[in-house]
Structure 1
Amino acid sequence: MKFLYIGIDPMDFRPDYFQLHVVDKFDGVRQLGNEVDYICRDEGKIFELIGGKKIFIPLIQAGDCDKEYFRYILAFLNDNEYDIVYLNSRLIYPEMCLMAQTVKAQKFGTKVIYEPTYWPIDFYFHKEMNTYRGNKQYGLFLKKFFEMLSQRRRGSDFALCADAAVVFGFPARTVRGMPAIPMPNGVAVNKIHASFSSEALDQPVTILAVADGPGTCGFERLFRGLKIYYEKDFHDSVTIDIVSNDSNTALLRQAAAEIGIEGYVNFLGEKSLAQINDLCATHTIAVGSLDLYLEDRIYDSPWITKFFCAAGIPFLYTGEDIGLDSKVPFALKLPNLDAPINMELVSEFVWRCRFFTDLAQQERRYAEQHFDWRILMKRILLFTATGKLEA
């Protein structure tokens, strides 16, 4: 089977991001015995992998890059046949209907899958509209409002051409009238090393915190919880090691100093995925962002928790993750609100984890069965073919 991925939105060509969100995901399709190509772009060029050959094509900077990119894709689809075409974009564009119609005209039985970058997209429209209204920018507010209405109309048109939608991290069953399958985020488990060594019960607790952007990422919740923990004179030694580049951690450094626990927080700087993988083997537990509540969101399926799961390190998380059973022993779900993290609860979680000598093996198996891209993409392809979630 021939499979083509088309990334509609411009992508800053960051190797880690591209590897996680394109290459690893569709390598799962390749592992199922299929031929996989992709076409993507950043602001300045198209980059593609066709038939195993990488090609880079500069876009005309003085022109309309969007229209030029769409013309290129439509011309390519007119000359090539695929069994599955997978479209990823934040918004639905009129050209996407043409793409779907073109591939179906080229080959009978071709399936078109759509993955919205964010869902529900109306949430993001409302968020921007509220910002404009609060700043009394009523012109921009109305522009965004009509754009939202336009998306609903375009979605209805596109639903007539597409066969299925994939929504990551949200329990959607339809997307603009298209049948949808909700999926957790995934990782390439075979590229992540797991450490199966166990910590002694009396070892210091070291928390690996991986920040995913500027701001505090909710880690000040950890700081406040740790402050309360030490004020109660608990005896477990707890420290936090934060991974992020220096420009992203200015607010975190300030928060640690203001709260008065800077002596227990270490800033490790920016690390590659391989280095984060090594750090998982030397820390007690790990945590990703804890600020989901700031966006008034309930559902989330961050890739970093899937990474922790594959690496065999127990982790903390917030929100509802559709791919993670809340009763697994290697993950602790925390309240999704602006409150200090209860470090006594975290300490109890650490003790429970240390009593399970085969916990890391169990966690690794869970990642292989639930988060590996080969497993997830198989479910997506079967759903597209049959329309059944049970597949």
Structure 2
Amino acid sequence: MKLMYLTFQEDAPLYLGVKNKIEGQVGAFEKLGYEVTYSMWQGNTFQFFGAEPLKRSFDSSKGIMKQLTRIAYEYLQKNRFEVLYLRLDRISFDMLRICRAARDNQVKTIVVEIPNYPYLTDYIRNIQYAKTLKTRAVTAAKVAVTVADDRLSGRKLKQYVDAVVLYGNQADSFFGVKAMNGDNGINIDGITPVPHCGDLHKDIVFLGVAGTLWWQGYDRVLKGMSEYKKKKPDGAPALKFVLVGGDATEMPEFRALVDRLGLTEDVTFCGFKKGKELLDIYRTVDVGVSSLGCYRRGLTACFSLKAREYSAAALPFLYAYDDAKLGTDTPFALKLPNDGTTVDMNQVIAFVQKCRKDSSIAQKEREFAEKNYDWKIIMKQVLDFAKASVNID
């Protein structure tokens, strides 16, 4: 059976985590018995990889999404699949047109994935970042059109879509279509566990890995480090922070915060890293920082891909959101408040030292990741929910 995983995702360093997720899901679909084609764009080329490959050029200087959706529409008219899996930021009439083309070409099952739910808050928030009254008015008008397109087209979604996978807040339906809350996964075999550190006197090093920074909430950690540094008792461990990634547009403000808090010598900027380079950095740190800023997007629940990677690497981590897989008694994960409060470093230090004292925690964390976070397990649940599973040995 053939499956089309249609995305309009840009292949760029800023979105490396998203690309890894898409490729992980593709690999899982293949392991589950499908011949898979998937799409991404880069520069001025929209490319379809896998079972039914294709490259199409477009004009990247104007109306990118309109051009991409038109290419996808024509592609699905000409190529037949049993399952269409759509990753969408929102619903639109262009998306409905694509679904209609797929149905007309005998697609049996259509599944929509929404990576950030609820998502309209993100669009509305763009208004406040406009710098002048004129740009604010223009932005507000564009947002109004976007919201209207989503709300009106969404009413017809159930005519074409069989199931929806929501990443974010809990819901069992989406515009009248049955919905399940998705979970992020990883390729477990691609991540080697980091060595366990049992030295209670060693400095504690935080690791943050992200493209976009503002909703990761790393500033909460920096403020906590600054307060701790001012009052650090003699003999207590020093705190360091390593940042991998970071959107170029946000980095000046982030660096300015580091300087303002007196942490210039305590924060290391590594740029974007992947593969062996990233795994080598994992070996030098003590605690990962998953998202601490979900509240900034109006989210209470999150399924952080980075937390899954930390878990596979047996690296203890911090998080600040609801995650059904993580309980208050999870020994390798410390849950913090989902708000703008400064991170209590004494609480974090106690957590890290507890993990250092108990070498069995690392093994428990790795086994937990193998059981809960492998993409094949997660995508099998999605296909079963959509009633689109292939019967294979």
TM above 0.5, yes or no, is: yes
Change (3 A) 1:294 1:90: closer
After superposition, residues 1-391 of structure 1 pair within 5 angstroms as 1-7=1-7, 9=8, 11-14=10-13, 16-17=16-17, 19-42=19-42, 44-51=44-51, 54-60=53-59, 66-107=65-106, 110-128=108-126, 135=133, 137-138=136-137, 140-213=139-212, 217-230=216-229, 231-233=231-233, 235-244=235-244, 247=248, 249-385=251-387
What is the CA–CA distance in structure 2 between the aligned matches of 1:250 and 1:298, rounded to whole Å? 28
Per the TM alignment, residue 344 of structure 1 is displaced from its structure 2 partner at its CA by 0.9
Change (3 A) 1:234 1:115: farther
Identity of aligned residues (%): 23
What is the CA–CA distance in structure 2 between the aligned matches of 1:222 and 1:68, rounded to whole Å? 41
Change (3 A) 1:135 1:159: farther
CA offset digits 1:290-341 (Å, max 9, x no partner)? 3333334322222111111111100111122344334211010112222221
What is the CA–CA distance in structure 2 between the aligned matches of 1:68 and 1:256, rounded to whole Å? 41
Aligned letter for 1:99? I
CA offset digits 1:72-122 (Å, max 9, x no partner)? 3333323333221011222323243333333334337x1000112432133
Per the TM alignment, residue 187 of structure 1 is displaced from its structure 2 partner at its CA by 1.6
The 8 Å contact of residues 89 and 115 in structure 1, kept in 2 or not, is answered as yes
Q: Which moved more, 1:164-173 or 1:281-290?
A: 281-290
Unaligned stretches of 5+ in structure 2? none
Give the TM-score normalised by the residue count of structure 1.
Answer: 0.86
Change (3 A) 1:28 1:67: same
RMSD of Structure 2 on Structure 1 (CA): 3.0
Q: Which moved more, 1:335-344 or 1:374-383?
A: 335-344
Q: Which moved more, 1:345-354 or 1:121-130?
A: 121-130
The 8 Å contact of residues 32 and 374 in structure 1, kept in 2 or not, is answered as yes
What is the CA–CA distance in structure 2 between the aligned matches of 1:295 and 1:16, rounded to whole Å? 21
Q: Partner of 1:279: helix, strand, or coil? A: helix
Per the TM alignment, residue 370 of structure 1 is displaced from its structure 2 partner at its CA by 1.9
The 8 Å contact of residues 205 and 236 in structure 1, kept in 2 or not, is answered as no
Aligned letter for 1:172? A
What is the CA–CA distance in structure 2 between the aligned matches of 1:382 and 1:322, rounded to whole Å? 19
What is the CA–CA distance in structure 2 between the aligned matches of 1:217 and 1:68, rounded to whole Å? 32
The 8 Å contact of residues 167 and 181 in structure 1, kept in 2 or not, is answered as yes
The 8 Å contact of residues 170 and 183 in structure 1, kept in 2 or not, is answered as no
Change (3 A) 1:156 1:102: same
Per the TM alignment, residue 33 of structure 1 is displaced from its structure 2 partner at its CA by 2.3
CA offset digits 1:135-160 (Å, max 9, x no partner)? 47446435533432331120111221
Number of equivalenced pairs: 384
Q: Partner of 1:207: helix, strand, or coil? A: strand
Per the TM alignment, residue 36 of structure 1 is displaced from its structure 2 partner at its CA by 1.0
Aligned letter for 2:55? F
Per the TM alignment, residue 65 of structure 1 is displaced from its structure 2 partner at its CA by 5.1
The 8 Å contact of residues 133 and 141 in structure 1, kept in 2 or not, is answered as no
The 8 Å contact of residues 183 and 322 in structure 1, kept in 2 or not, is answered as no
Unaligned stretches of 5+ in structure 1? none
Aligned letter for 1:182? N
Q: Partner of 2:383: helix, strand, or coil? A: helix
What is the CA–CA distance in structure 1 between the aligned matches of 2:85 and 2:289, rounded to whole Å? 32
Aligned letter for 1:383? F
Per the TM alignment, residue 26 of structure 1 is displaced from its structure 2 partner at its CA by 1.4
Q: Partner of 1:181: helix, strand, or coil? A: strand
What is the CA–CA distance in structure 1 between the aligned matches of 2:252 and 2:150, rounded to whole Å? 38
The 8 Å contact of residues 215 and 249 in structure 1, kept in 2 or not, is answered as no
